[in-house]
Amino acid sequence: MCGIWALFGSDECLSVQCLSAMKIAHRGPDAFRFENVNGFTNCCFGFHRLAVVDQLYGMQPIRVKEFPYLWLCYNGEIYNFKQLQKQFGFDYQTLVDGEVILHLYNRGGIEQTASMLDGVFAFILLDTANRKVFLARDTYGVRPLFKVLTDDGFLGVCSEAKGLINLKHSTSLCSKVEPFLPGHYEVLDLKPSGKVASVELVKFHSCKDEPLHVTCDTVEALPSGFDLETVKSNIRILFENAVRKRLMAHRRIGCLLSGGLDSSLVAAVLLKLMKEININYPLQTFAIGMENSPDLLAARKVAAHLGSEHHEVILNTEEGIQAIEDVIFSLETYDITTIRASIGMYLVSKYIRKKTDSVVIFSGEGSDELTQGYIYFHKAPSPEEAAEESERLLKELYLFDVLRADRTTAAHGLELRVPFLDHRFTSYYLSLPAELRIPKNGIEKYLLRLSFEDSNLLPKEILWRPKEAFSDGITSVKKSWFSILQDYIDQQVDDFLLEKAAEKYPFNPPKTKESYYYRQIFEKHYSGRSSWLPHYWMPRWVKATDPSARTLKHYKSATQE
């Protein structure tokens, strides 16, 4: 996890512009570099480093003797860089996994480069010999990327939008700052003036398609067919492989643990593999919640079963409410459920950074979207419609859960790893017949749970624990987190303001005092940028007025059974 920033064709003094690069300093607390591009005095790179691999040669932009005309700034981890080296005979000059991007590009161009990377990434690649700039982002947008391109060819690129919104330019920034689409790369021509012109934007991978890099995966061809035992075995093999490849790190590994199925499975497989490769420190697991909240109690049970070094962060209401503005500033969104869930994750990340030496943090994001874990999937009209909704959610992850997971951890200089969003694992799961993937017997994620039932990785009561929204599980059953927030905000927003909300905020107008309160804070920091959120996250097929699972009829807590 790092912070990348680059400008091409700046009319303003670069030493002034680089102040914007400091807005993302939290993403790389270990080192910072600002570098001009030879021959282009108005082009530059900025890089904030979190040193996870190659402590000596990991600074960026990466340049190697073999390709002196290539400049690379990237944020991410490329898990198959050693396999690619073996397959193509690349001669690496550093231990940095991202160096493979230079070699792949030199060998086969940008299309092959983006398609062959097994990992999470956002990168800016400059080829001064051919006068080209390339931007690319991984399939699910696990690593963030924003850009602004003006009519006269000034380009700004950054890991977070906050590093672009205050850039100076001779003409107004008429082109808006916008997220770069996941699963795409863009080709731009670099003019002698340093300005750029977009040539094409190409989608190189869809979540349903088996990725091209399967040819150099450590797990070879899997048994075909959809009989249940084969499917369950393949799910276990691919998920374990997804966790194994993400163990690549020179810094201590930890794991978020809510006590729900997803984070518990990640933690259990992670601990098993750490023992296999003789990592000689205990796995630190982290849970947050109010005293005796469902998440804390369940996480405690899982940690005891696994034997992890478990840390509990006790959340108090005042601390959570005080964090709202910092959270919205970090997130760059005003989505209701994203903000609710981010407060706990932001505070547990703050604890990890201050109180422990874990830096690489595993988490369970992506499972709900992939394996149909949301409560409202019980109401899907058909397996086919459920499958379509699953794909829609995966495509929009970069606006919601993946955004939350990245920003709340990056705000405290941590690197997040999300094995459920492994390209090969997700494409296999989505290739299964729709009727296999739907909730069964009133239980969501039925197939995933069934696949691990005989593995002895988790206690049965955890493996089959019903879904809890992260923002609700951190509080008691009697009073949900969203209710606590609403009670506080009710005193902060006048009824009259809410009545006029649609006039003040015509795009995505707030319908509740809570959403109005969040929108006000968002506009304070990112005025006029409401289009970053195309729509609010809400459940489908139910008449929901609130995104919390606890408001749905299907929901019942295990403590009420």
Binding residues for L-glutamine: 97
Q: Single out the residue of 434, 204, 411, 266 nearest to residue 327, CA to CA.
A: 411
Instruction: Write the DSSP string, 452-471.
Output: TTTS-SS-HHHHTPPP--HH
Spatial contact of 183 and 204, defined as CB atoms under 8 Å apart: yes
Torsion sign (Cα): 250, 73, 160, 37: positive
How many helices (H) and strands (E) the chain has is answered by 21, 17
CB neighbour class for 308 (10 Å; exposed up to 12, middle 13-18, buried from 19): buried
Q: Identify the H or E element spanning 273.
A: helix 261-276
94 CB-near residues (< 8 Å, 6+ apart): 54, 57, 58, 62, 64
Token digits of residue 484: 């606590």
At which residue do the structure tokens 């995933």 appear?
448
Q: Give me 382's structure tokens.
A: 């058909």
CA separation, residue 527 to residues 328, 332, 502 (Å): 13, 11, 16
3-class SS at 518?
A: helix
Scanning the structure block, which residue is given the tokens 């700034």?
73
Coil, helix or strand at residue 308: coil
Is the Cα dihedral 547, 380, 207, 533 positive or negative?
Answer: negative
Catalytic residue among 2, 44, 158, 207: 2
CA distance 28 to 236: 34
Q: How far is CA 3 from CA 64, 163, 545, in A?
A: 21, 10, 37
Residue 372 region by backbone torsions, left for phi larger than 0, else alpha for psi between -120 and 50, else beta: left
Q: Quick one: tokens of 218?
A: 């450590």
End-to-end CA distance of the chain, in Å?
Answer: 42
| Local structure of residue 181 (DSSP, 8 states) | P
* Cα–Cα dist 463/530, whole Å: 39
Half-sphere exposure for 70 (CA within 13 Å, toward CB): 23
Nearest C-alpha neighbor of 40 from the set 199, 195, 198, 197 = 195
DSSP secondary-structure letter at 186? E
What would the two tokens of residue 229 be? 């035992």
| Range list of H helices, 383-422 | 383-395, 401-410
207 is catalytic: no
DSSP assignment of 23-34 equals GGGGG-BSEEEE
Active site residues: 2
